[in-house]
Structure 1
Amino acid sequence: MDPMSMVSGTLAELDGQITDMFRALANGFQKLEKIKDASRQSRQLEELTGKMRDCKRLIKEFDQGIKEEEGSYDFQTNKMLSEKKQSMIKELNSYVALRKKYSSSLENKRIDLFDGPGSEGPPEDNVILASSLTNQQLIDKGNQMMDETDQAIERSKQVVEQTINVGAETAAALKAQTEQMSRIVNELDSIHFSIKKASQLVKEIGRQVATDRCIMAMLFIIVCGVIAIIVVKIVNPNNKEIRDIPGLAPPVMSRKLLWDN
Protein backbone atom coordinates (compact mmCIF):
# COMPACT_ATOMS: atom_id res chain seq x y z
CA MET A 1 0.00 0.00 0.00
CA ASP A 2 1.33 3.44 -0.94
CA PRO A 3 1.99 5.50 2.23
CA MET A 4 0.89 8.70 0.45
CA SER A 5 -2.59 7.22 0.00
CA MET A 6 -3.12 7.73 3.74
CA VAL A 7 -2.73 11.54 3.58
CA SER A 8 -5.04 14.26 2.28
CA GLY A 9 -5.63 14.83 -1.39
CA THR A 10 -3.75 18.16 -1.28
CA LEU A 11 -0.53 16.60 0.03
CA ALA A 12 -0.83 13.70 -2.37
CA GLU A 13 -1.31 16.10 -5.29
CA LEU A 14 1.72 18.15 -4.24
CA ASP A 15 3.77 14.97 -3.94
CA GLY A 16 2.78 14.02 -7.49
CA GLN A 17 3.65 17.47 -8.84
CA ILE A 18 7.05 17.43 -7.13
CA THR A 19 7.76 13.94 -8.49
CA ASP A 20 6.90 15.10 -12.00
CA MET A 21 9.13 18.14 -11.53
CA PHE A 22 12.08 15.97 -10.43
CA ARG A 23 11.54 13.75 -13.46
CA ALA A 24 11.57 16.81 -15.73
CA LEU A 25 14.78 18.06 -14.06
CA ALA A 26 16.48 14.69 -14.56
CA ASN A 27 15.52 14.62 -18.24
CA GLY A 28 16.57 18.26 -18.64
CA PHE A 29 20.07 17.66 -17.26
CA GLN A 30 20.45 14.58 -19.44
CA LYS A 31 19.55 16.71 -22.44
CA LEU A 32 21.97 19.39 -21.26
CA GLU A 33 24.86 16.93 -21.38
CA LYS A 34 24.19 16.28 -25.07
CA ILE A 35 24.06 19.97 -26.07
CA LYS A 36 27.35 21.28 -27.42
CA ASP A 37 26.45 24.86 -28.30
CA ALA A 38 27.20 27.22 -25.39
CA SER A 39 24.25 29.53 -26.01
CA ARG A 40 21.81 26.61 -26.16
CA GLN A 41 23.33 25.19 -22.98
CA SER A 42 22.82 28.55 -21.28
CA ARG A 43 19.15 28.70 -22.34
CA GLN A 44 18.60 25.11 -21.22
CA LEU A 45 20.22 25.88 -17.87
CA GLU A 46 17.99 28.92 -17.38
CA GLU A 47 14.94 26.78 -18.09
CA LEU A 48 16.08 24.17 -15.55
CA THR A 49 16.71 26.94 -13.00
CA GLY A 50 13.12 28.09 -13.41
CA LYS A 51 11.89 24.54 -12.84
CA MET A 52 13.99 24.29 -9.68
CA ARG A 53 12.37 27.49 -8.40
CA ASP A 54 8.94 26.00 -9.03
CA CYS A 55 10.03 22.78 -7.31
CA LYS A 56 11.23 24.72 -4.27
CA ARG A 57 7.88 26.51 -4.08
CA LEU A 58 6.02 23.19 -4.19
CA ILE A 59 8.23 21.73 -1.44
CA LYS A 60 7.45 24.73 0.73
CA GLU A 61 3.72 24.25 0.12
CA PHE A 62 4.16 20.55 0.97
CA ASP A 63 5.91 21.48 4.25
CA GLN A 64 3.16 23.98 5.09
CA GLY A 65 0.53 21.32 4.44
CA ILE A 66 2.32 18.91 6.77
CA LYS A 67 2.30 21.50 9.56
CA GLU A 68 -1.39 22.30 9.04
CA GLU A 69 -2.48 18.64 9.02
CA GLU A 70 -0.02 17.31 11.60
CA GLY A 71 -2.74 16.80 14.17
CA SER A 72 -4.79 14.70 11.76
CA TYR A 73 -2.25 11.86 11.44
CA ASP A 74 -0.57 9.42 13.80
CA PHE A 75 3.09 9.41 14.69
CA GLN A 76 4.13 7.01 11.92
CA THR A 77 2.37 9.01 9.21
CA ASN A 78 3.88 12.28 10.40
CA LYS A 79 7.32 10.62 10.46
CA MET A 80 6.80 9.33 6.92
CA LEU A 81 5.80 12.80 5.71
CA SER A 82 8.84 14.37 7.39
CA GLU A 83 11.18 11.85 5.78
CA LYS A 84 9.45 12.44 2.46
CA LYS A 85 10.09 16.17 2.73
CA GLN A 86 13.73 15.58 3.67
CA SER A 87 14.26 13.35 0.64
CA MET A 88 12.70 16.04 -1.56
CA ILE A 89 15.08 18.66 -0.19
CA LYS A 90 18.06 16.33 -0.68
CA GLU A 91 17.13 15.62 -4.27
CA LEU A 92 16.55 19.30 -5.02
CA ASN A 93 19.93 20.19 -3.49
CA SER A 94 21.57 17.61 -5.73
CA TYR A 95 20.11 19.34 -8.78
CA VAL A 96 21.21 22.70 -7.38
CA ALA A 97 24.77 21.38 -7.13
CA LEU A 98 24.51 20.03 -10.67
CA ARG A 99 23.32 23.36 -11.94
CA LYS A 100 26.27 24.98 -10.16
CA LYS A 101 28.64 22.67 -11.96
CA TYR A 102 27.27 23.52 -15.40
CA SER A 103 27.16 27.25 -14.60
CA SER A 104 30.82 27.14 -13.68
CA SER A 105 31.72 25.35 -16.89
CA LEU A 106 29.83 27.93 -18.96
CA GLU A 107 31.63 30.79 -17.11
CA ASN A 108 28.31 32.34 -16.23
CA LYS A 109 27.79 34.57 -13.25
CA ARG A 110 27.53 32.38 -10.16
CA ILE A 111 24.05 32.95 -8.78
CA ASP A 112 22.70 30.46 -6.32
CA LEU A 113 19.03 29.65 -6.61
CA PHE A 114 18.35 30.10 -2.89
CA ASP A 115 20.75 32.94 -2.05
CA GLY A 116 19.31 36.21 -0.80
CA PRO A 117 20.40 39.55 -2.30
CA GLY A 118 23.75 40.83 -1.07
CA SER A 119 25.23 37.41 -0.34
CA GLU A 120 28.99 37.54 -0.78
CA GLY A 121 30.04 34.17 0.57
CA PRO A 122 32.27 31.81 -1.41
CA PRO A 123 30.53 29.72 -4.11
CA GLU A 124 30.99 26.48 -2.23
CA ASP A 125 28.97 27.89 0.68
CA ASN A 126 25.94 28.51 -1.52
CA VAL A 127 25.16 24.81 -1.95
CA ILE A 128 25.38 22.51 1.03
CA LEU A 129 25.14 18.85 0.23
CA ALA A 130 22.64 16.82 2.22
CA SER A 131 25.31 14.31 3.25
CA SER A 132 27.01 16.95 5.44
CA LEU A 133 23.87 17.81 7.44
CA THR A 134 21.61 16.08 9.89
CA ASN A 135 17.94 15.76 9.12
CA GLN A 136 16.98 18.66 11.38
CA GLN A 137 19.77 20.87 10.00
CA LEU A 138 18.66 20.01 6.51
CA ILE A 139 15.08 20.97 7.35
CA ASP A 140 16.22 24.24 8.96
CA LYS A 141 18.45 25.03 6.01
CA GLY A 142 15.60 24.40 3.56
CA ASN A 143 13.23 26.57 5.57
CA GLN A 144 15.85 29.32 5.73
CA MET A 145 16.34 29.18 1.98
CA MET A 146 12.59 29.36 1.43
CA ASP A 147 12.25 32.32 3.80
CA GLU A 148 15.06 34.20 2.06
CA THR A 149 13.46 33.58 -1.31
CA ASP A 150 10.09 34.75 0.02
CA GLN A 151 11.72 37.92 1.29
CA ALA A 152 13.30 38.53 -2.11
CA ILE A 153 9.92 37.98 -3.79
CA GLU A 154 8.26 40.36 -1.32
CA ARG A 155 10.85 43.03 -2.07
CA SER A 156 10.23 42.53 -5.78
CA LYS A 157 6.48 42.96 -5.17
CA GLN A 158 7.15 46.22 -3.33
CA VAL A 159 9.25 47.49 -6.22
CA VAL A 160 6.47 46.58 -8.64
CA GLU A 161 3.88 48.34 -6.48
CA GLN A 162 6.07 51.43 -6.26
CA THR A 163 6.52 51.38 -10.04
CA ILE A 164 2.74 51.10 -10.52
CA ASN A 165 2.16 54.02 -8.13
CA VAL A 166 4.72 56.17 -9.94
CA GLY A 167 3.07 55.27 -13.25
CA ALA A 168 -0.37 56.22 -11.89
CA GLU A 169 0.95 59.55 -10.56
CA THR A 170 2.63 60.27 -13.89
CA ALA A 171 -0.58 59.48 -15.75
CA ALA A 172 -2.56 61.79 -13.46
CA ALA A 173 -0.02 64.59 -13.95
CA LEU A 174 -0.16 64.15 -17.73
CA LYS A 175 -3.96 64.24 -17.63
CA ALA A 176 -3.91 67.47 -15.59
CA GLN A 177 -1.39 69.04 -17.98
CA THR A 178 -3.52 67.99 -20.95
CA GLU A 179 -6.60 69.62 -19.42
CA GLN A 180 -4.59 72.76 -18.69
CA MET A 181 -3.33 72.90 -22.28
CA SER A 182 -6.92 72.49 -23.50
CA ARG A 183 -8.01 75.45 -21.35
CA ILE A 184 -5.12 77.54 -22.69
CA VAL A 185 -6.09 76.70 -26.27
CA ASN A 186 -9.70 77.74 -25.56
CA GLU A 187 -8.51 81.02 -24.04
CA LEU A 188 -6.29 81.68 -27.06
CA ASP A 189 -9.26 81.06 -29.36
CA SER A 190 -11.32 83.56 -27.33
CA ILE A 191 -8.52 86.14 -27.51
CA HIS A 192 -8.17 85.61 -31.26
CA PHE A 193 -11.93 86.09 -31.72
CA SER A 194 -11.85 89.28 -29.60
CA ILE A 195 -8.91 90.65 -31.61
CA LYS A 196 -10.77 89.91 -34.86
CA LYS A 197 -13.91 91.69 -33.63
CA ALA A 198 -11.84 94.65 -32.44
CA SER A 199 -10.12 94.83 -35.83
CA GLN A 200 -13.50 94.90 -37.59
CA LEU A 201 -14.72 97.63 -35.22
CA VAL A 202 -11.60 99.73 -35.88
CA LYS A 203 -12.17 99.40 -39.62
CA GLU A 204 -15.79 100.51 -39.25
CA ILE A 205 -14.74 103.48 -37.13
CA GLY A 206 -12.12 104.36 -39.74
CA ARG A 207 -14.72 104.27 -42.49
CA GLN A 208 -17.05 106.47 -40.43
CA VAL A 209 -14.24 108.94 -39.74
CA ALA A 210 -13.37 109.08 -43.46
CA THR A 211 -17.02 109.70 -44.31
CA ASP A 212 -17.26 112.46 -41.69
CA ARG A 213 -14.11 114.07 -43.08
CA CYS A 214 -15.56 114.07 -46.58
CA ILE A 215 -18.74 115.69 -45.33
CA MET A 216 -16.77 118.29 -43.38
CA ALA A 217 -14.63 119.01 -46.46
CA MET A 218 -17.72 119.50 -48.59
CA LEU A 219 -19.28 121.80 -45.98
CA PHE A 220 -16.02 123.72 -45.79
CA ILE A 221 -15.98 124.17 -49.56
CA ILE A 222 -19.61 125.32 -49.54
CA VAL A 223 -18.94 127.80 -46.74
CA CYS A 224 -15.88 129.12 -48.58
CA GLY A 225 -17.98 129.52 -51.76
CA VAL A 226 -20.68 131.41 -49.90
CA ILE A 227 -18.09 133.67 -48.28
CA ALA A 228 -16.48 134.33 -51.66
CA ILE A 229 -19.83 135.25 -53.21
CA ILE A 230 -20.60 137.57 -50.31
CA VAL A 231 -17.24 139.29 -50.64
CA VAL A 232 -17.60 139.71 -54.41
CA LYS A 233 -21.18 140.99 -54.00
CA ILE A 234 -20.07 143.51 -51.48
CA VAL A 235 -17.12 144.68 -53.54
CA ASN A 236 -18.99 144.80 -56.86
CA PRO A 237 -22.69 144.96 -56.17
CA ASN A 238 -23.54 145.74 -59.82
CA ASN A 239 -22.09 142.52 -61.11
CA LYS A 240 -25.04 140.85 -62.77
CA GLU A 241 -23.24 137.56 -63.22
CA ILE A 242 -23.53 136.88 -59.52
CA ARG A 243 -27.00 136.09 -58.43
CA ASP A 244 -28.32 137.79 -55.39
CA ILE A 245 -28.01 135.96 -52.18
CA PRO A 246 -31.12 136.23 -50.05
CA GLY A 247 -30.57 138.78 -47.35
CA LEU A 248 -27.61 140.40 -49.17
CA ALA A 249 -29.42 142.13 -52.06
CA PRO A 250 -28.65 145.86 -52.53
CA PRO A 251 -31.11 148.30 -51.05
CA VAL A 252 -34.16 149.13 -53.15
CA MET A 253 -34.14 152.61 -54.63
CA SER A 254 -36.73 154.80 -53.08
CA ARG A 255 -39.62 155.39 -55.41
CA LYS A 256 -40.76 158.89 -56.16
CA LEU A 257 -44.39 159.60 -55.94
CA LEU A 258 -46.13 161.29 -58.86
CA TRP A 259 -47.16 164.18 -56.82
CA ASP A 260 -43.57 164.88 -55.86
CA ASN A 261 -42.92 166.19 -59.35
Structure 2
Amino acid sequence: MRFSQRAVIVTGGSKGIGEGCARVFCREGGLVSILARGADAGQALASELTRSGPGRAIYIPCDVGDHLQLKQAIEETVSVFGRLDCMINNAGQHPPAMTIDETSVEFMQELMRINYLSTFAGCRYAVPFLRKTRGTIVNISSMTAVLGQEHSTAYCATKGAQVSLTKALAIELGREGIRVNAILPSNIDTPLMRDWAATLADPDSALKRVADMQVFGRMGTIEEMGEIALFLASEASSFITGQAIEAEGGASLDY
Protein backbone atom coordinates (compact mmCIF):
# COMPACT_ATOMS: atom_id res chain seq x y z
CA MET A 1 0.00 0.00 0.00
CA ARG A 2 1.26 3.43 -0.96
CA PHE A 3 0.28 5.42 2.15
CA SER A 4 0.02 2.84 4.91
CA GLN A 5 -0.25 4.28 8.43
CA ARG A 6 0.52 7.79 7.26
CA ALA A 7 -1.82 10.68 7.99
CA VAL A 8 -3.41 13.10 5.55
CA ILE A 9 -5.77 16.02 6.04
CA VAL A 10 -8.26 16.81 3.27
CA THR A 11 -10.12 20.11 3.54
CA GLY A 12 -13.50 20.09 1.86
CA GLY A 13 -13.12 16.34 2.10
CA SER A 14 -16.76 15.26 2.27
CA LYS A 15 -17.62 15.65 -1.43
CA GLY A 16 -16.23 16.32 -4.87
CA ILE A 17 -12.47 16.21 -5.40
CA GLY A 18 -11.92 16.13 -1.64
CA GLU A 19 -14.01 12.98 -1.37
CA GLY A 20 -12.01 11.45 -4.19
CA CYS A 21 -8.79 12.16 -2.32
CA ALA A 22 -10.17 10.71 0.91
CA ARG A 23 -11.26 7.52 -0.84
CA VAL A 24 -7.96 6.96 -2.63
CA PHE A 25 -5.76 7.63 0.41
CA CYS A 26 -7.85 5.39 2.67
CA ARG A 27 -7.78 2.61 0.08
CA GLU A 28 -3.99 2.82 0.21
CA GLY A 29 -3.89 2.41 3.98
CA GLY A 30 -3.87 6.07 4.94
CA LEU A 31 -5.14 7.72 8.10
CA VAL A 32 -7.53 10.28 6.65
CA SER A 33 -8.86 13.38 8.40
CA ILE A 34 -11.88 14.79 6.56
CA LEU A 35 -12.43 18.48 7.27
CA ALA A 36 -15.74 19.93 6.09
CA ARG A 37 -18.73 21.96 7.20
CA GLY A 38 -21.32 19.33 6.25
CA ALA A 39 -21.47 17.08 9.29
CA ASP A 40 -23.83 14.46 7.86
CA ALA A 41 -21.85 13.92 4.67
CA GLY A 42 -18.50 14.12 6.45
CA GLN A 43 -19.37 11.65 9.17
CA ALA A 44 -21.04 9.26 6.73
CA LEU A 45 -17.98 9.21 4.48
CA ALA A 46 -15.58 8.74 7.40
CA SER A 47 -17.64 5.83 8.71
CA GLU A 48 -17.86 4.22 5.27
CA LEU A 49 -14.13 4.50 4.64
CA THR A 50 -13.22 3.12 8.05
CA ARG A 51 -15.53 0.14 7.49
CA SER A 52 -14.10 -0.60 4.05
CA GLY A 53 -10.48 0.04 5.07
CA PRO A 54 -7.69 -0.80 5.00
CA GLY A 55 -7.04 2.74 6.21
CA ARG A 56 -9.05 4.71 8.72
CA ALA A 57 -10.92 8.00 8.50
CA ILE A 58 -12.22 10.59 10.93
CA TYR A 59 -14.42 13.62 10.40
CA ILE A 60 -13.71 16.99 12.01
CA PRO A 61 -16.20 19.85 11.55
CA CYS A 62 -14.35 22.82 10.12
CA ASP A 63 -15.07 26.03 8.26
CA VAL A 64 -11.71 26.66 6.59
CA GLY A 65 -12.60 30.33 6.18
CA ASP A 66 -12.08 30.61 9.94
CA HIS A 67 -8.34 30.10 10.28
CA LEU A 68 -8.54 29.37 14.00
CA GLN A 69 -10.98 26.52 13.33
CA LEU A 70 -8.54 25.20 10.74
CA LYS A 71 -5.62 25.41 13.16
CA GLN A 72 -7.58 23.52 15.80
CA ALA A 73 -8.64 20.86 13.28
CA ILE A 74 -5.03 20.28 12.21
CA GLU A 75 -3.95 19.97 15.84
CA GLU A 76 -6.83 17.59 16.58
CA THR A 77 -5.83 15.41 13.64
CA VAL A 78 -2.27 15.12 14.94
CA SER A 79 -3.62 14.38 18.41
CA VAL A 80 -5.67 11.47 17.04
CA PHE A 81 -3.19 10.03 14.53
CA GLY A 82 0.06 11.07 16.18
CA ARG A 83 1.50 12.51 12.97
CA LEU A 84 0.82 14.43 9.77
CA ASP A 85 2.33 13.44 6.43
CA CYS A 86 0.26 15.33 3.88
CA MET A 87 -1.92 18.45 3.83
CA ILE A 88 -4.41 18.69 0.97
CA ASN A 89 -5.91 22.17 0.70
CA ASN A 90 -8.99 21.49 -1.39
CA ALA A 91 -11.89 23.45 0.10
CA GLY A 92 -13.08 26.41 -1.88
CA GLN A 93 -15.92 28.08 -3.70
CA HIS A 94 -16.73 28.89 -7.34
CA PRO A 95 -19.18 31.80 -7.40
CA PRO A 96 -21.72 32.41 -10.18
CA ALA A 97 -20.49 34.23 -13.28
CA MET A 98 -20.16 37.97 -12.79
CA THR A 99 -18.48 40.80 -14.65
CA ILE A 100 -15.82 43.00 -13.11
CA ASP A 101 -18.47 45.71 -12.72
CA GLU A 102 -20.63 43.29 -10.75
CA THR A 103 -17.75 42.18 -8.51
CA SER A 104 -17.45 44.35 -5.42
CA VAL A 105 -14.19 44.78 -3.56
CA GLU A 106 -15.92 43.31 -0.51
CA PHE A 107 -16.89 40.19 -2.50
CA MET A 108 -13.32 39.82 -3.73
CA GLN A 109 -12.05 40.03 -0.16
CA GLU A 110 -14.48 37.34 0.96
CA LEU A 111 -13.56 35.00 -1.89
CA MET A 112 -9.87 35.49 -1.14
CA ARG A 113 -10.59 34.52 2.47
CA ILE A 114 -12.33 31.31 1.42
CA ASN A 115 -10.21 30.21 -1.53
CA TYR A 116 -6.74 31.60 -0.87
CA LEU A 117 -6.30 32.53 2.78
CA SER A 118 -7.64 29.11 3.80
CA THR A 119 -4.91 27.53 1.67
CA PHE A 120 -2.26 29.79 3.18
CA ALA A 121 -3.52 29.02 6.70
CA GLY A 122 -3.61 25.29 5.96
CA CYS A 123 0.02 25.42 4.89
CA ARG A 124 1.03 27.70 7.75
CA TYR A 125 -0.46 25.53 10.47
CA ALA A 126 0.50 22.18 8.93
CA VAL A 127 4.17 22.95 8.31
CA PRO A 128 5.37 22.49 11.94
CA PHE A 129 4.02 18.93 11.86
CA LEU A 130 5.17 18.21 8.30
CA ARG A 131 8.73 19.11 9.29
CA LYS A 132 8.74 16.09 11.60
CA THR A 133 7.73 13.68 8.82
CA ARG A 134 9.31 15.45 5.83
CA GLY A 135 5.80 15.51 4.47
CA THR A 136 4.01 17.07 1.54
CA ILE A 137 1.46 19.75 0.69
CA VAL A 138 -0.97 19.45 -2.21
CA ASN A 139 -2.99 22.53 -3.12
CA ILE A 140 -6.04 22.06 -5.34
CA SER A 141 -6.15 25.01 -7.71
CA SER A 142 -7.79 25.13 -11.16
CA MET A 143 -6.93 25.41 -14.85
CA THR A 144 -8.54 28.84 -14.66
CA ALA A 145 -5.39 29.93 -12.82
CA VAL A 146 -3.46 29.77 -16.10
CA LEU A 147 -6.18 30.01 -18.77
CA GLY A 148 -8.60 32.49 -17.23
CA GLN A 149 -12.37 32.22 -17.47
CA GLU A 150 -14.95 34.69 -18.72
CA HIS A 151 -16.82 36.55 -15.98
CA SER A 152 -14.75 34.83 -13.30
CA THR A 153 -12.07 37.40 -12.57
CA ALA A 154 -12.31 37.02 -8.80
CA TYR A 155 -12.25 33.22 -8.87
CA CYS A 156 -9.33 33.05 -11.31
CA ALA A 157 -7.32 35.44 -9.17
CA THR A 158 -7.75 33.29 -6.07
CA LYS A 159 -6.73 30.17 -7.97
CA GLY A 160 -3.67 31.91 -9.41
CA ALA A 161 -2.68 33.00 -5.93
CA GLN A 162 -2.67 29.35 -4.86
CA VAL A 163 -0.21 28.50 -7.62
CA SER A 164 2.12 31.36 -6.68
CA LEU A 165 1.99 30.28 -3.04
CA THR A 166 2.82 26.72 -4.06
CA LYS A 167 5.94 27.73 -5.96
CA ALA A 168 7.24 30.15 -3.35
CA LEU A 169 6.64 27.72 -0.50
CA ALA A 170 8.34 24.89 -2.38
CA ILE A 171 11.50 27.02 -2.51
CA GLU A 172 11.27 27.94 1.16
CA LEU A 173 10.67 24.42 2.46
CA GLY A 174 12.73 22.34 0.04
CA ARG A 175 15.85 22.14 2.21
CA GLU A 176 13.68 20.81 5.02
CA GLY A 177 12.46 17.96 2.84
CA ILE A 178 8.90 19.23 2.48
CA ARG A 179 7.53 19.12 -1.06
CA VAL A 180 4.74 21.45 -2.20
CA ASN A 181 2.74 20.98 -5.40
CA ALA A 182 -0.58 22.03 -6.90
CA ILE A 183 -3.16 20.24 -9.02
CA LEU A 184 -5.02 22.25 -11.65
CA PRO A 185 -8.15 20.30 -12.64
CA SER A 186 -10.33 21.18 -15.59
CA ASN A 187 -13.90 19.84 -15.70
CA ILE A 188 -14.46 17.16 -13.07
CA ASP A 189 -17.69 15.19 -12.62
CA THR A 190 -18.71 16.40 -9.17
CA PRO A 191 -22.04 17.06 -7.43
CA LEU A 192 -21.34 20.77 -7.89
CA MET A 193 -21.03 20.30 -11.65
CA ARG A 194 -24.30 18.38 -11.81
CA ASP A 195 -26.07 20.90 -9.59
CA TRP A 196 -24.98 23.62 -12.00
CA ALA A 197 -26.30 21.67 -14.99
CA ALA A 198 -29.62 21.09 -13.22
CA THR A 199 -30.25 24.85 -13.20
CA LEU A 200 -30.21 24.93 -17.01
CA ALA A 201 -32.99 24.17 -19.48
CA ASP A 202 -31.25 21.05 -20.83
CA PRO A 203 -28.93 19.57 -18.19
CA ASP A 204 -27.85 16.59 -20.29
CA SER A 205 -26.79 18.76 -23.22
CA ALA A 206 -24.91 21.07 -20.87
CA LEU A 207 -22.98 18.18 -19.34
CA LYS A 208 -22.17 16.83 -22.80
CA ARG A 209 -20.78 20.20 -23.88
CA VAL A 210 -18.57 20.25 -20.81
CA ALA A 211 -17.44 16.66 -21.38
CA ASP A 212 -16.58 17.39 -25.01
CA MET A 213 -14.10 20.07 -23.95
CA GLN A 214 -11.68 17.28 -23.05
CA VAL A 215 -10.03 15.27 -25.83
CA PHE A 216 -11.36 12.09 -24.22
CA GLY A 217 -14.93 13.31 -24.60
CA ARG A 218 -15.55 13.01 -20.87
CA MET A 219 -14.99 14.82 -17.61
CA GLY A 220 -12.42 13.72 -15.09
CA THR A 221 -13.46 11.75 -12.03
CA ILE A 222 -12.91 12.68 -8.42
CA GLU A 223 -10.83 9.55 -7.85
CA GLU A 224 -8.56 10.40 -10.78
CA MET A 225 -7.78 13.64 -8.97
CA GLY A 226 -7.26 11.65 -5.78
CA GLU A 227 -4.74 9.42 -7.56
CA ILE A 228 -2.74 12.45 -8.68
CA ALA A 229 -2.77 13.77 -5.11
CA LEU A 230 -1.57 10.40 -3.83
CA PHE A 231 1.25 10.37 -6.39
CA LEU A 232 2.35 13.83 -5.24
CA ALA A 233 2.19 12.72 -1.60
CA SER A 234 4.18 9.52 -2.15
CA GLU A 235 7.83 8.69 -2.70
CA ALA A 236 7.05 8.10 -6.38
CA SER A 237 7.23 11.88 -6.84
CA SER A 238 10.22 12.46 -4.56
CA PHE A 239 11.96 14.79 -7.05
CA ILE A 240 8.86 16.85 -7.88
CA THR A 241 8.12 20.09 -6.07
CA GLY A 242 6.79 23.53 -6.88
CA GLN A 243 4.83 22.20 -9.83
CA ALA A 244 1.33 23.02 -11.05
CA ILE A 245 0.09 19.73 -12.48
CA GLU A 246 -2.47 20.41 -15.22
CA ALA A 247 -5.02 17.61 -14.84
CA GLU A 248 -7.18 18.77 -17.71
CA GLY A 249 -7.78 15.86 -20.06
CA GLY A 250 -6.31 17.77 -22.97
CA ALA A 251 -8.86 20.58 -22.66
CA SER A 252 -6.21 23.21 -23.35
CA LEU A 253 -4.98 21.51 -26.55
CA ASP A 254 -5.99 22.01 -30.19
CA TYR A 255 -5.97 25.79 -29.96
TM-score (norm. length: structure 1): 0.25
TM-score (norm. length: structure 2): 0.26
Bigger Rg, which one = 1
Higher RCO, Cα 8 Å, sep 6+: 2
Q: Which structure has greater helix proportion?
A: 1
